[in-house]
Structures are given as C-alpha cells and as structure tokens.
Amino acid sequence: MNLKPEEVFLAQGTLRPDLIESASLVASGKAEVIKTHHNDTELIRKLREEGKVIEPLKDFHKDEVRVLGRELGLPEELVSRHPFPGTALVARQLQGH
C-alpha cells in the first residue's frame, strides 16, 4: 500500500470503560489493571503520545454512545445491537459468524 508510518493515523472506537479497565493514563493515574484491551496496548499508548491515535468516543460510556447514535439518526437495530458495535463485532462479521 506504500504507506509511510509518519503519515498514518489509527482511528478506533475506544470507550471510557476500556481505558479504565486497562488502567490507561488517559483515564486515571491511579487505576489498577482489571483486564487488557486491544485498543490500549503499549503500541497504542506510544502512538497516542505521538498524536497518531484518533478516539472520538474515548470519554463516553456505551449508553452515552447509544444516545449519540440516535441523535445522529443511526438505525435503532445498529444502535441497540448486542454485542455492542466494535472491533469484536467486525471480526465476527469477517469470519462469517
């Protein structure tokens, strides 16, 4: 794809609980790790420090994101679906599940 690392940004749907559970400094400087998340690894933390990560939902919880989705006019079947729309959902769709 001829991508240049210095020109690439990562956009991801990180939510507030992801950051809290993984004890990210973005959420708190005092938290203990509850579990790790794919969207808060050492590489992601490094990229954040470099200003290379775009996470427009990082300050929101699922219920707040659902409200935003409704206000944006997204279909209710998408906004209310379980599991919550995210990377795991995309992976399951790609695998045909």
Instruction: Please tell me the predicted confidence (pLDDT) of residue 71.
Output: 95
12-61 pLDDT tens trace: 888 888 777 777 766 666 666 666 666 778 888 888 899 998 988 888 98
Amino acid 82 reads H
Helix (H, G, I), strand (E, B) or coil at 57: coil
Q: How far apart are CA 65 and CA 79, in angstroms?
A: 8
pLDDT at residue 72, as a whole number:
92
3-state secondary structure of 3: coil
Give the predicted TM-score (pTM) of the model.
Answer: 0.64
Q: Which of 7-21, 36-50, 57-71, 77-91 has the highest mean pLDDT?
A: 57-71
Residues 6 or more apart from 68 whose CB is under 8 A from it? 57, 60
- Which single residue is written with the structure tokens 């929101």? 60
DSSP-assigned letters across all residues of 70-97: HHTT--HHHHT-SSPSSHHHHHHHHTT-
> Is 56 strand, coil or helix?
coil
| pLDDT of amino acid 51 | 92
- The confidence score (pLDDT) of residue 91 equals 52
